[in-house]
Amino acid sequence: DAKTTQPTSMDCAEGRAANLPCNHSTISGNEYVYWYRQIHSQGPQYIIHGLKNNETNEMASLIITEDRKSSTLILPHATLRDTAVYYCIVRGPYAGGTSYGKLTFGQGTILTVHP
Amino acid sequence: SAVISQKPSRDICQRGTSLTIQCQVDSQVTMMFWYRQQPGQSLTLIATANQGSEATYESGFVIDKFPISRPNLTFSTLTVSNMSPEDSSIYLCSVQQGMNTEAFFGQGTRLTVV
């Protein structure tokens, strides 16, 4: 699976949009971009994923560039509860045997939402 | 999404002993995984728990140290054997309902070895 690069940390004011970037320049055509977050002392929480089209759900929006080499996770109205580590993960499809599309976590981006 | 229950939520253990962590899911799932998160670090995949057969371990993890069972589609255990302080970590269970679907995580077991 392709490697991702994220900023170590970001700040955001409460009520404003949080835009978290991720670079994945070596992504392959069949690899998805997944986003998870981990709030302190909890298990990771699934946020959203996409292949090449922009995606939106009740939590966030995912914008993937046309060349698929980077993406941005958007939290439209950040709250204090959104303070967490955000992980961008590129994941390929299950291919049988041990070559499944496992989730490989990097160091992520520490997002701090302040009042 | 599946509801995942991990037990115990935390424990303090003596070095040289073993601890078995349980992961129970409220619905049948295709895939179950075990991760480790060392203090201040990201998550590392230990192994895939395979139903009815031996687990598939990632590089650096061995069955003697981390035996895993998965007797059915809703339950798995991870044992941390012959523990040392270096095994102090959060251990997390993760499940997927399909091969290429999103994974969901339990709340983890916080293990401290003294």
State both tokens at B100.
């290429």
CA nearest to B108 within chain A = A43
In the prediction, which pLDDT does A97 show?
55
Long-range contacts of A59-63 (CB under 8 A, 24+ apart): A60/A35, A62/A33, A62/A35
Residue A24 Cα to chain centre, angstroms: 11
CA–CA separation, A72 and A61 (whole Å): 8
Residues A32 and A49 sit within 8 Å (Cβ to Cβ): yes
B30-41 average pLDDT score: 94
Chain B closest CA to A44's CA: distance in Å?
Answer: 6
Q: Number of residue pairs across A and B with CB atoms under 8 Å?
A: 44
| Inter-chain touch B45–A49, beta carbons under 8 Å | no
Please tell me what DSSP assigns to residue B60: T
In the prediction, which pLDDT does B46 show?
96
Confidence grade of residue B72 (pLDDT, cut at 50, 70, 90): very high
Whole-angstrom CA distances from A73 to A86, B66, B68 are 9, 35, 35
B8-20 average pLDDT score: 98
In the prediction, which pLDDT does A103 show?
87
Q: In chain A, which stretches have pLDDT less than 70?
A: 1-2, 94-101
In the prediction, which pLDDT does A28 show?
87
